[in-house]
Amino acid sequence: MKLMRIEKRKLIELVLVVGLSLTLTLVTGMAGFAQDKISLIFRQNDSPADATGLSEAVQEFDRKHPNIKVQYEVVPWSDALTQFVREAGVGGGPDVLQLAFVWTMDLAKAGTLVKLNPLFEKYPLPRGIDDFVALELGKMGDDVYGIPWTTDTFAMIYRKDFFAKAGIVGFPDDSWSHFKEVAKKLTEDRDGDGIIDRYGFAFPAGSGPTGGMWFLVNYFIWSHGYTFMKQNGDGTWQLGVDAEAIAEAMRYFNSFFEEGISPRSLIAVDSWGDPEILHGLAKGDFAMGFMPPQSFRAAMDANPQAPLASAQVPAGRVTRRTHLGGRTLAINKNTKHLKESWELLKWMCSEHVFETYYRQQFSAQKTLLEKVSYASEYEGYVKLIPQAQTFYEYIVSPVRVQTMWSLTNREFAAVYSGQKSVERASKDLLEAIEEALQEATGKS
């Protein structure tokens, strides 16, 4: 009977714990209803280190609008699109959200975003809608569905001290072969033990679907006069590159691994902001790299003493082109507070926010971009941005950018790892894109 009493006490404890937990759940759940302010959700996708200041910007907006309370949400890039589509389908989601340039049009077509024309006509932007670069990416006809928020491009990064020591004057941006020559010259086995101590060039060569190889491949083929997607005069689309041109790019980048200019560990690196690349440049394990300005800044922060600088991407036979990337802000079709959402979107794009809070990013407005005084380290970016072009032709083409992106990374990494020959991988890549094109246009 004594045993029974103990068990009874345990049972009571159990019931208490469960009861308390459920009450707590309910209470925290109810807390949201206790206010009559307009509640907005602002969602962005960057990690805390990449988005410093943003939550403070939201807080200042709250203070300026006593009738609005903004909730600041973070969903990582890798899941942001899927999550929003799920929410949009059931009538939920954030009010104002951050999107990758390449998602905007697809989401607009799917009917998940608000047409913004009536809003900026009634409550205009301070410098007008035409002040934004890359506006065409969020447009269908004349209808605007996304406001370009931030923008960037990729540039080459190098260590000035290593260049000086090796007697190299000026960055080798005149040709890809010259670039490789210099990269090889900068590669060094200081103690002669057969293990390389400093590699010439660091680039993200991973096979992940959102890895950075895609950009480097495009820059290379663009500069040789090719492009993945090309529109014919009659409006139909076709591949603007052949197997030989792809094979040339594959052979070029693979030679960095074969000749020991880049370490094979990079075949596992997807992100341009990977610590191996950033810290490697900061510490001097690499002489050159390839990344957007936000990552460049992180590399400089990792070692303020390292004499890093940026330079242009090498030119090829034809034109010199890099891509203009970035993010848009859009309003969810399901929002119940259109005017307030627009107010918030305008605030996030304002000069004040970029000057005071969101300082690590570059605004997508021409007048603001012109105003920024860049430190000399950013020279490469400053030169490249005016020449950069968006992925517009890819975005409006029948094949999704993400499909070409993931296929490219996969086939290039297959070559680097020795899984496929250059001939086979270049053929496979073209056939897969061709197949996606036929499937999308219904000619199968």
Partner 1 sequence: MSSRIRDLPVVVVTFAIIGLILFPFFWMIISSLKPSTDLLTRELQLIGRSLTLENYRGILEAGFFRFVLNSVFMCTTATIVCVWLISSPAAYAISRYHFPGRNSILAMVGFTQMFPWVILVTPVFMMFWALRLVNSYLGLIIVYIAITVPFSIYMLLGYFETIPKVLDEAAVVDGCSPLGVIFRVILPISLPGLVATSAYTFAVTWNEFVFALTLMTQTEKKTVPVGVANFLGQYTTDWGVVMAASVVATVPTVIFFLLLQRHLVAGLAAGAVKQ
Partner 2 sequence: MGKSNNLWGRLHRSHRPRFHAYGLILPAVALLVFFFFIPSLYNIELSLHKISLFETAKGRGEFVGLENFIKVTEDPAFYNALKNTVLWLTGATVVFRILLGLGLALLLNSKALKRWHLAGMGRILIFVPWGVPPVVAVTIWKWMLHSRYGVVNLTLQNLGLIRQPIFFLTDISVVWLSIILIVVWRELPFAVVSFLAGLQSIPQELYEVARIDGAGWFHELRYVTLPLLKPIITIVGFMITIWTFNNFVYVWLSTRGGPGDFTHVLGTNVYFESFVNYKVGYGATFGVIMTVIMMGFALVYFSTLFKRNITA
The CA distance from 403 to 284, in Å, is 35
Q: How far is the CB of 308 from partner 2 (least distance, A)?
A: 20
In the bound state with partner 2, the residue whose beta carbon lies nearer, of 211 and 316, is: 211
Residue 206's nearest CA partner among 153, 281, 264 is: 264
Pick from partner 1, partner 2, none: which does 414 bind, CB < 5 to 8 A by kind?
Answer: partner 2
Q: Are 391 and 101 in contact (CB under 8 A)?
A: yes
Residue 311 beta carbon to partner 2: minimum distance, rounded to whole angstroms: 25
Closest separation between CB of residue 67 and partner 1, Å? 21
CA gyration radius, the chain: 25
**What one-character-per-residue DSSP string does 231-259 give?**
E-TTS-EEEE--HHHHHHHHHHHHHHHHT
Helices (H), 366-442: 366-371, 379-384, 392-396, 401-416, 422-441
Binding partner selected for residue 112 from partner 1, partner 2, none, CB under the kind-specific 5 to 8 Å limit: partner 2
Q: Is 12 in the site for partner 1 (CB under 8 A)?
A: no
Strands 227-231 and 143-144: unpaired
Near partner 1 by CB under 8 A: residue from 184, 198, 230, 279: 279
- Candidate residues 85, 129, 315, 382; the one interacting with partner 2 per rule CB under 8 A: 85
Among 138, 280, 289, 326, binds partner 1 (CB under 8 A): 280
- Please choose, from the candidates 6, 49, 61, 435, the residue with its C-alpha nearest in 3D space to the C-alpha of residue 273: 49
CB atoms within 10 A of CB 123: 11
Which residue, 5 or 122, has its beta carbon nearer to partner 2? 5
Phi, psi of 97 (to 5 degrees): -140, 155
CA distance 118 to 32: 31
Q: Does the footprint of partner 1 cover residue 422 (CB under 8 A)? A: no
Stretch that binds partner 1, among 22-30, 153-161, 173-181, 312-320 (CB under 8 A): 22-30
Q: Looking at the chain, how many residues does it have?
A: 444
Question: In the structure encoding, which two tokens stand for residue 409, read together?
Answer: 């990374």
Per DSSP, the three-state class of 444 is coil
Which of 292, 314, 316, 326 binds partner 1 (CB under 8 A)? It is: 292
Residue 29 binds partner 1, judged by CB under 8 A: yes
CA distance 282 to 277: 9
Nearer to partner 2, 267 or 330 (CB): 267
CB under 5 to 8 A by kind: which of partner 2, partner 1, none does 50 bind?
partner 1
Binding interface with partner 2 (CB under 8 A)? 81-82, 85-86, 88-89, 106-107, 109-112, 194-195, 206-209, 263-265, 267-268, 270, 276, 285, 400, 402-403, 406, 410-411, 413-420, 425
